Structure 1
Amino acid sequence: MTKKFLTAGALSTALLTLGSGIYFYNSLPVLRSYDQVKAQYQSSDLYILSHEGKLLHQWRKNKDNRSFQWTALADVSPVLTSEILKSEDRFFHEHSGVSFSSLMASVYQRLFKGSSRGGSTITMQLLKLITPERVKYSGMTGKLRQIIAAYQLERFWSKKEILEAYLNLIPLRGEYRGVAASSWSLFDKSPTGLTLKEAVALAVLVRAPNASVKDWKNRACWQEPSLCSEFPGFIAELSKKTLEPSQQNLALHLAQRLSPRFTSGEVKSTVHLDVQTYTQEMVKSQILNLQEQNVNDAAVLVIENATGNVWAYVGGSGISDKRYVDGVRAYRQAGSTLKPFLYATAFENNILTPHSWIEDSAVDIVFERGIYKPQNHDKQFYGWVQVKTALASSLNVPAVKVFKLLNDESFWTRLQSLGFKNLKEPEHYGPALALGVADVTLEDLTQAYRTLANNGIYTDLRFTSNDPEPEARQVFKTKTAQEVSFILAQNENRALGFGLDSALSTQGASVKTGTSKDMRDNWCIGFNSRFTVGVWVGNFSGEPMWNVMGVTGAAPIWKKVIAFLETNYPSPKISEGSALASTTVIAPEKYPQARIVYPQDGMIMALDPAIPIAHQKMPLLAEGPHPERLQWRINGKKVAGSKSVLWTPEAGRHTFELYQNQKLAQKVQVLVK
């Protein structure tokens, strides 16, 4: 009986031991490979790179912890690696995952000195970082489980892989994970270039990430006694840091835009670093100059015409308190910037040509909601003008008349084809659509002008190097796009509205400004043969600016950016035989008689005492068929020149007469004070 009892007991013990062993074995973690761990690692930040591969902007995505890009072991300062091994695992390169001498020392410290020092190797610590939370390594069985798993890990991972993963995954001060994030937060530099003092200060945090300043200093002194005298002040200063790393902040709104598309990691954009930087500087400078006129915000978009690549994306001034509002995508009233597409529609429908004549005179437009009485911004009427002058000088009354001439929804339909979003139905706007009462974005507006630059062909934008090649659609005929482009490129066409020496005076570029009701929005959009640049200036709050028009608000930014592009990225010159150049030889349509464009009758001018008289000039501009037959007389005396003359003003009242074929066509009087 006794023998049978002992046999049964032994069997029970054996079964219990076997069951415990099976349970223990099954409770071991399923180890992932190095490649799996690295592939599943995610930075807390999105890194927007420039076209050249340089960091433009760092955008935080994960709010739970702060970790940067996975850092290769070769990119960690050898002195930092050495100090971490000295602090955490002196025999890392000798053991196979477990250091029994360290374990025994730990037991001794706990039993006889009351220390809580552990004996875990870096391999054992890494296990806690890469295995699920449900796997426990505490207690006797947990420690045994950790030891066995450490041996397994060392069988399948190299020492380099273990150390590299450890340096990327260890939690350090505050919310930071990995030596890269901590190095940037504490020292404003990558872990590649840490000094010995910096490396020691960082290494001793591994064991106690949130140690007090006193303990932090003591640990550093114990590890590197030769620097002990330097640590108190050094660590005291480090402890005051906000632990917010210095970030590249050159493309906030682009990063904000791309953030929903990319979880983390690096995204190579189409933005050029030098163009982005210069554009931001010009925006900030101009807004600072205009702040006394209640101007706080601005946005700029630079697009390469042929590819649709965005070369600069500046969504705000960097000064405003509305930092995260993206001015590139914000809806604002278009003002006169829609007029080129109105006239292009009329050209397409064979209603007008650039040389047609249209009368700028008072008119009442009757429509469903009442009578509309359009006026020019200066409250004057200029009589008969050519279409090219009406468009480039941004006259309102002719634009409304063109809208009525169309007598359909074709203008509204063209705006839709150009990609303008969220347009209300045509009847919502009525004839006022010709004057830009619709809300548009800078992006859509710049894209529409780029369509003119591309001979009437529309394609989508590209923001990253991985964006697909855009599909093209023809919105305007090539001839129409070139005619409108040529009108907007000729300085004399806009002299009536802006004079000969405005911020729009530039060689080889077509440009148009716009100002919305109550001066709430300034626009300047234009292009050369290679780039289209769009600028908006105003206030995100919707407050009106004080006496700021498109030519004084947005245009100076546009002119500087387009000049920078022309200098650094020259555009191809238009050959004389091109279709665009050929638009200059279209014969003028019949006009009743020659007329004075500038100055206007009754105009009062004031001399500037700060400028020498010889340097003050007033243009005399005329238009009409056969300009070679025109002749100016000032106060009865003939002057050289026909179509245009520069006159040095003198105080007093002056009479300007324009003769056509020896006959008086028109005369005006001007008072100079």
Structure 2
Amino acid sequence: MRLAGTGRGLALLAALIIAPAVQAMPDFQQVKAGWRSSDVALMDRNGQPLQRMRVDARVRRLDWVTLTDISPAMRQALVMSEDRRFYQHSGVDWSAVAAASWGYLWNQRTRGASTLTMQLVGLLDDDLRRGAQRRSLVQKVGQGVSSQWLERRWSKAQILEAYLNLVSFRGEIVGLDALAASMFDKSPSGLNAHESAIAVALIRAPNASPDRVAQRACGILRDMGRVGTKAQDCARIDAETRFALARHGNDYLRGEQLAPHFARKLLARSPQAAGSTVRTTLDGDLQRFATRVLRRQLADLRQRNVEDGALLVLDNASGDILAWVGSSGDLSRAGAVDGVTALRQAGSTLKPFLYQIALEGRWLTAASLLNDSPLDLRTSSGLYAPQNYEKDFKGPVSVRTALASSLNTPAVRTIEMVTPNRLRQRLYDLGLSSLSESGDYYGYSLALGSADVRLLELVNAYRTLATGGLGSPLRWQVRDPRPAPARQLDARSSFIISDILSDRTARARTFGLESALATRFWSAVKTGTSKDMRDNWAVGYSRRYTVGVWVGNASGAPMWDVSGMHGAAPVWLALMNRLHDGVPSRPPAPPAGVERRQVRFERNVEVAHREYFLPGTARDMIYAADDDRRSRTRGIGNPVDGAIYALDPDIPPQNQRVVFRASGIARPQWWLDGRLLGSGATLAWFPMPGRHVLQLRDRQQVIEQVRFEVRGAFLKAGTVRKGT
């Protein structure tokens, strides 16, 4: 055994040279403690795993895996392939060294003399790591000496465990946990013999072709006694190898991934180092429930061309984000789009802030009557004629009814008083940062939510109503300080708006007494549906929580006959019931200065009741309707002279009509462009592009004549409806 003796002599010589490096070798606990995943682990508020996000793009590491959590098949395959005498030698396999030296002298290929311990030393010490070139003699000797030093201080189990966590397998993958997850969608404890052989085959040739990997894996299985010696015995391993390698590159995250959109947003706001752990404000159980409820509702709506949704739950007092579901996941073709932060048209969800300004300015009270009747407003682009969702009008209604029942023409009459600029400024001050243009840019349609908003900002604005006008930034992490709330809205008008939004009776004109907006406890809520049913919302709050839900399509495609009541509201109700299971929510007490008086209405347009008023606005009186002037005169109520109508190509032709209205005439006749069109107090006319002259006649006498124009000559078929 002359070669073995020579090797020992070289080792003694190298020991003097590399002794300082050997003394710097870490112990097992240091290596394990220094392991860093390429992910950031997000925990919920109770310390339970919530989400992982990769932040290190250079390598792919998951968790450190203990040897007891690695399958016996994997351990057997590794030892059989890389170091059969692992449990007999003390770091250097001198028999293998002798065989390798003899083969080198006679130019014969041999298995090699590098033990698992020696390979581990190369992983621990960069100076001993094998690069593109072969190791130098000093490196080889140093590796042997260090291996013997390591064997005296580490157990065999620790050497195997560290090796399988530190070794590179293929491409960027480091460690068995990342390999098992990305290639086999398993944990290391579940790897079978075939998968283990494929994994070990990659250690020597990480970037080899599938054929070579499969050939080597089959050889390992033969050594393990798992396959026969015939060529066809390897057919299965060949197919499994190709499938596994095809999965390579999948950025797999182990465990339940509950909040990917929240995690991305949080890490963009507050970058974290790889391997760190973040304690978030989310409630894992609530997040899991919210995801389930949203997916179930969207699955029920699939036949109505609905595939996306999002929701947000906030704690009113702290501003903690308790649940954040950004999409429906695999139900959507755009699952990566975060519906919580995406811009979507607000619909009627902006109306509470409009009416609050009117109350604060003393232009209106909750008992003031507004006329819900056809309204034509001249704008720079033509005539603006808002309609209600059900295409009907209620006549004189109180502000309470107008807001709770989400009537459109009263809201437009209100923004005439308030002005679009005031409403836009109020919304912007509440944090709706997307409203960057002036109020004139949005015009009167801002009252009906024509602007794009983010669910995140809208829900926090509603939270300000819920807290009586006190606002604060949201909290994302438990460690974040709780900022002191600041006064953003008037407390008294906030109370009155909240009382209106909680009024089931006032809501009944549109939604009925029993609906998805009715809870067993005190809550205030508002729905919204945007133009052509592209978005619908339900945003509301209790004394403790604020919840917002959006349902629609990330692509912007319209839904088919789905309003906020039927799309978003059922999810909102389920969340509210879950949050208040055993948790009370009682009506808030009126702030100092708010008065309550009995009110009655002329002609009993509404039931007499006790109403809340801001200081100085309360009156014990009968409220009379300020009827639209045209409804009390003899002539044409609609259209007005000079009106311009624009045909909408997104609305089916059969759904587009101009309704002619007359008042004060016993037997009105309608003549259009010199031809008799029809008779009756109202007449729906299919709009034909061009300039027209409309006459209202009583028998042959012309009562009134108006001129109007219809623009747009191209229509396309579809099946959508407008809603608010």
Give TM class, smaller chain.
0.7 to 0.9
- Cα distance in 2 for partners of 1:579, 1:82 equals 71
Per-residue CA shift, 1:388-424, capped at 9, x if unaligned? 1111111122222322333584433321232111212
SS at match of 2:565: helix
Instruction: Provide the residue aligned with 2:400 in structure 1.
Output: 388
Q: CA deviation at 1:425?
A: 1.9
Per-residue CA shift, 1:79-134, capped at 9, x if unaligned? 75566456544666776654434422433455569334222233321233344489
- Cα distance in 1 for partners of 2:48, 2:235 equals 35
Per-residue CA shift, 1:633-652, capped at 9, x if unaligned? xxxxxxxxxxxxxxxxxxxx
SS at match of 2:601: coil
| Among 497, 511, 522, the residue aligned to 2:536 | 522
Per-residue CA shift, 1:307-344, capped at 9, x if unaligned? 32323222112222222111111001111101111222
1:304 aligns with 2:315: yes
1:490 aligns with 2:503: yes
Gaps of 5+ in 2: 1-12, 612-724
- Cα distance in 2 for partners of 1:413, 1:39 equals 53
Bigger Cα displacement from structure 2, 327-336 vs 116-125:
116-125
Q: CA deviation at 1:148?
A: 4.6
> Do the aligned residues in 2 keep the contact of 1:302 with 1:313 (CA within 8 Å)?
yes
TM-score between the two structures when normalised by the length of structure 2 = 0.69
Bigger Cα displacement from structure 2, 507-516 vs 257-266:
257-266
- Cα distance in 1 for partners of 2:593, 2:561 equals 36
Q: CA deviation at 1:525?
A: 0.9
| Among 240, 244, 258, the residue aligned to 1:250 | 258
Q: CA deviation at 1:259?
A: 4.3
SS at match of 2:261: helix
Q: CA deviation at 1:386?
A: 1.6
> Do the aligned residues in 1 keep the contact of 2:421 with 2:438 (CA within 8 Å)?
no
One-letter code aligned to 1:327: G
Instruction: Provide the residue aligned with 1:632 in structure 2.
Output: none
Instruction: Provide the residue aligned with 1:114 in structure 2.
Output: 108
SS at match of 1:419: coil
- Cα distance in 2 for partners of 1:538, 1:580 equals 37
Q: 1:175 to 1:587 in 2, by over 3 A?
A: same
- Cα distance in 2 for partners of 1:382, 1:254 equals 43
- Cα distance in 2 for partners of 1:512, 1:438 equals 17
1:359 aligns with 2:371: yes
Per-residue CA shift, 1:6-44, capped at 9, x if unaligned? xxxxxxxxxxxxxx9999769979957467765664433
1:397 aligns with 2:409: yes
One-letter code aligned to 1:358: L
1:317 aligns with 2:328: yes
- Cα distance in 2 for partners of 1:237, 1:566 equals 53
Say how many residue pairs are matched: 578
| Among 343, 357, 370, the residue aligned to 1:331 | 343
SS at match of 1:505: coil
| Residues 642-653 of structure 1: pairs in structure 2 closer than 5 A | none
Instruction: Provide the residue aligned with 1:459 in structure 2.
Output: 472
- Cα distance in 1 for partners of 2:501, 2:233 equals 67
- Cα distance in 2 for partners of 1:177, 1:572 equals 51
- Cα distance in 2 for partners of 1:28, 1:394 equals 77
1:288 aligns with 2:299: yes
- Cα distance in 2 for partners of 1:138, 1:359 equals 90
> Do the aligned residues in 2 keep the contact of 1:524 with 1:554 (CA within 8 Å)?
yes
| Residues 63-74 of structure 1: pairs in structure 2 closer than 5 A | 63-73=57-67
SS at match of 1:358: strand
1:217 aligns with 2:218: yes
One-letter code aligned to 1:538: G
| Residues 553-632 of structure 1: pairs in structure 2 closer than 5 A | 553-567=567-581, 570-574=582-586, 578-579=588-589, 586-589=596-599, 591-595=601-605, 622-624=606-608
Q: 1:465 to 1:108 in 2, by over 3 A?
A: farther
| Residues 445-456 of structure 1: pairs in structure 2 closer than 5 A | 445-456=458-469
Q: CA deviation at 1:220?
A: 2.6
Bigger Cα displacement from structure 2, 256-265 vs 320-329:
256-265
> Do the aligned residues in 1 keep the contact of 2:354 with 2:418 (CA within 8 Å)?
no
Gaps of 5+ in 1: 1-19, 596-621, 628-673
Per-residue CA shift, 1:151-172, capped at 9, x if unaligned? 6767887877654432211122
- Cα distance in 2 for partners of 1:54, 1:190 equals 19
Q: CA deviation at 1:532?
A: 1.8
- Cα distance in 1 for partners of 2:314, 2:155 equals 48
Q: CA deviation at 1:304?
A: 2.5
Bigger Cα displacement from structure 2, 409-418 vs 534-543:
409-418
> Do the aligned residues in 1 keep the contact of 2:421 with 2:440 (CA within 8 Å)?
no
> Do the aligned residues in 1 keep the contact of 2:14 with 2:138 (CA within 8 Å)?
no
Bigger Cα displacement from structure 2, 284-293 vs 418-427:
284-293
Q: CA deviation at 1:486?
A: 2.0
- Cα distance in 1 for partners of 2:596, 2:384 equals 34
Q: 1:58 to 1:626 in 2, by over 3 A?
A: closer
Per-residue CA shift, 1:572-615, capped at 9, x if unaligned? 2316xx515999982244532312xxxxxxxxxxxxxxxxxxxx
Instruction: Provide the residue aligned with 1:543 in structure 2.
Output: 557
Q: 1:336 to 1:24 in 2, by over 3 A?
A: same
| Among 150, 164, 171, the residue aligned to 1:167 | 164
Instruction: Provide the residue aligned with 1:613 in structure 2.
Output: none
One-letter code aligned to 1:490: D
Q: 1:365 to 1:157 in 2, by over 3 A?
A: farther
> Do the aligned residues in 1 keep the contact of 2:529 with 2:564 (CA within 8 Å)?
yes
| Residues 116-131 of structure 1: pairs in structure 2 closer than 5 A | 116-131=110-125
Instruction: Provide the residue aligned with 1:648 in structure 2.
Output: none
> Do the aligned residues in 1 keep the contact of 2:420 with 2:443 (CA within 8 Å)?
no
TM-score between the two structures when normalised by the length of structure 1 = 0.74
Per-residue CA shift, 1:335-380, capped at 9, x if unaligned? 1101111222233334433233333344454667666444333343
Say what the alpha-carbon RMSD is for the aligned residues: 4.0
- Cα distance in 2 for partners of 1:356, 1:394 equals 16
- Cα distance in 1 for partners of 2:422, 2:127 equals 65
1:176 aligns with 2:173: yes
- Cα distance in 2 for partners of 1:212, 1:199 equals 12
